[in-house]
């Protein structure tokens, strides 16, 4: 073998060596897996201990919060352990206002949510009435502007004549 090639190979081998003489040469650096996958495995293990069963055919899930907003899941994966009264919902949830979902969720509302919906409707009507009063006040301002003098050109001519 050529001496120059041998020196070149030794230099390349020394560049790849991590440890001292006699250690294994590593060419690929191992990357750790993201922790999200590990959390999901732990969650799956905990749910398996509860003996949950998947519930197919769930189109949406709405969770009503105390502040009046709704946590809305579209096409979630739902698992349930009926004996333990435990439900697990997977999916991307969005916090939405109750007014955004009103037509579709009326049958899901309980007595507490219906009361909050009534309060929300009353406050909405009050806001609408306030906006109508503001627009009505603007129209009244137009009525307070005095009308122009009928013959304003003659008045202007008389002022010009007075200045001459």
Residue 10 lies in a domain: no
Does the pTM surpass 0.85? The reply is: no
Q: Which residues pair with 79 in a beta bridge?
A: 54, 88
* CA–CA separation, 81 and 144 (whole Å): 71
- 86, part of any domain: yes
Q: Residue 70 burial by CB count (10 A; 0-12/13-18/19+): exposed, middle or buried?
A: buried
Domain that holds residue 67: 50-131
Specify the number of domains making up the chain.
1
Mean pLDDT of the chain: 77
Q: What is the pLDDT of residue 164?
A: 62
Q: Is 5 among the domain residues?
A: no
Residues above pLDDT 70, as percent of the chain: 71
> What number is the average pLDDT over the span 115-139?
70
CATH of the domain at 89: 2.20.70.30
Separation of CA 15 from chain center: 49
| Mean pLDDT (whole number) for 134-161 | 64
In a domain, 38, yes or no: no
pLDDT at 128: 75
**How confident is the model at residue 134, as a pLDDT?**
62
Beta-strand runs (E) in the chain: 53-55, 60-64, 69-74, 77-81, 86-90, 93-97
Indicate whether 160 belongs to any domain.
no
Question: How high is the pLDDT of residue 34?
Answer: 67
Cα separation, 87 vs 47, in Å, equals 10
DSSP letters for 11-57: HHHHHH--SSTTSPP--S---PPPHHHHHHHHHHHHHHHHT-EEETT
pLDDT at 80 over 90: yes
Judge whether 73 lies within some domain.
yes
On whether residue 98 sits in a domain, the answer given is yes
Determine, yes or no, domain membership for 74: yes
């Amino acid at each position: 073998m050529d001496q120059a090639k041998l020196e070149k190979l030794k230099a390349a081998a020394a560049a790849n060596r991590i440890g001292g003489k006699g250690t294994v040469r590593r060419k690929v650096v191992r990357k750790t897996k993201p922790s999200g996958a590990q959390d999901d495995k732990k969650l799956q293990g905990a749910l398996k201990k509860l003996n949950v069963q998947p519930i197919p055919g769930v189109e949406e899930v709405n969770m009503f919060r105390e502040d009046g907003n709704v946590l809305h899941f579209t096409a979630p994966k739902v698992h349930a352990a009926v004996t333990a009264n435990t439900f697990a919902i997977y999916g991307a949830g969005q916090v939405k206002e109750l007014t955004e979902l009103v037509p579709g969720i009326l049958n899901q509302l309980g007595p507490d949510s219906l009361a909050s919906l009534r309060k929300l409707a009353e406050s909405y009507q009050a806001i609408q009435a306030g906006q109508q009063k503001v627009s009505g006040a603007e129209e009244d301002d137009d009525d307070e502007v005095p009308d122009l003098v009928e013959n304003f050109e003659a008045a202007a001519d008389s002022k010009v004549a007075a200045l001459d």
